Amino acid sequence: MRITILAVGKIRHGIFNQLYEHYASRLRWEVILHEIEPISQKNPHKRRKDEAIRLLTLVPEKAQIITLDESGKIKSSRELASWVGSRIEEGIKDICLIIGGAQGLDPNILYKSHLILALGRATWPHLLVRGMIAEQFYRIQQILSGHPYHKD
């Protein structure tokens, strides 16, 4: 399994990067992080559209796309592990997560998604979300392998 995380904005250094690296390095699955610079465009619709064009060019061919959006489904770790496990059983080798910028994601990206996911109803800093996603995929990997890391 290969996990590709596409995000608007760059972590650079610091605590958010350390959190992401901590969990990404523990994964047995390949993890690729592509970050694009935000578009400096005042019109939010144009900005989202331009960012979408750049993000979609980075999606691996045949990848299952998960977008993170406040309107998405809230899934428990076990539910998300079940979703990923089903994709593995189907022979899917790539999952691509897309994290939008400050203006959110263009509807075209949401339309192309196989799963629109919300990390709860709270709003999270976009830089923190990378670490949260890396931790969730580490947790999913542990759930699927029967490891006791996840406690119900």
Domains of the chain: 2-144 (3.40.1280.10)
Task: For residue 8, give both structure tokens.
Answer: 């608007």
pLDDT band at residue 44 under the 50/70/90 scheme: confident
SS3 42: coil
What pLDDT is stored for residue 39 in this prediction? 82
Nearest-angstrom CA–CA distance, 127 and 14:
10
pTM: 0.93
